[in-house]
Copies of this chain bind each other. A is one copy, B any other.
């Protein structure tokens, strides 16, 4: 790439829940807008599975809830996503297959250090995000209840429910099956693995109704196979397999209660989230299901359950469908007005 459009915060000797200490962690982030005088316009908006900060920008802009004229939006790149410290960019010995598990809890703890130690911020008006970023939003709410005023997780849950775990096992198996993956020590891209991940993901990312109605046409594809190759294989061919595996582990182990404070008591962790919240699952999401979301929301004292009425499945929250985008944006406006 040319001129870098983001900042990097460096943290030394970062101890992780997994028992490893990374000597040097780079947390890549980008900010949009300015911190106001009252220092009360901060939005934290993390990234999703393999997404990077530019992939979040569809929800930021003039007239949006996240209008840089009013808000100071911080997008921290999740570790493992290829910009922040990841298997693909970490020096030996923690490179490639030896990159340690970084939990959602670890991710948010680092983001908290960025926001407080480096940016000097004491209050966050909103944490929001899609998919794994929704998981991080719940974590922010549970870990820093006195700091976080609102959360708006969309298409994501507070832990990785078992069926979601099983879906990710298929993603992992697709990579593991390619001999070119070589236990993670490949020197050239194991493209078969990545194409297979694309085909595995294709069935999960959107809904049955999406395919029934051939909504891939709305994305500019001209046949189902065109969509499978042009979108799904293409999407994952740009990714690094070890990064995908690392983030999958972050996802699978994600649990708002998996830490020293809650000791696995999921109900207690959700009950501790006092932030005002609107929880928005996709109505047809096949892995972060609305049923799991509804249960979780029922345990949160100040939360509204507002499913996205969409046939785009998990992709209701990817920014590809304007009706869903406007629905999410309106919810953020409603929440920020509370």
Contact = CB atoms under 8 A, between A and B. Distances in A.
A291 interface: yes
A173 B228 CA distance: 12
Interface stretch (A209-217, A256-264, A320-328): A209-217
Contacts of A167: 203
Interface string A282-298: 00001101011000000
B224 A162 contact: yes
Interface in A157-200: 161-163, 165-167, 169-170, 172-174, 176-180, 192-193, 195-196, 199-200
B162 A176 contact: no
Contacts of A291: 208-209, 212
A192 to B, nearest CB: 5
Given A199-B170, A200-B170, A212 B161 contact: yes
Contacts of A211: 161-163, 165-166
Given A289-B208, A291-B209, A203 B163 contact: yes
A174 B196 CA distance: 6
A13 to B, nearest CB: 33
Contacts of A172: 199
Q: What is the oligomeric copy number?
A: 2
A115 interface: no
Contact of A212 (B163, B174, B195, B199): B163
A166 B228 contact: yes
Given A174-B173, A195-B173, A291-B209, A202 B286 contact: no
17 contacts: A161-B208, A162-B224, A163-B207, A163-B210, A165-B224, A166-B211, A166-B224, A167-B203, A169-B199, A170-B202, A172-B199, A174-B177, A174-B200, A177-B177, A177-B192, A177-B195, A179-B180
Closest 9 CB pairs of A and B: A162-B211, A173-B199, A163-B208, A163-B211, A173-B196, A179-B179, A177-B196, A170-B200, A167-B203
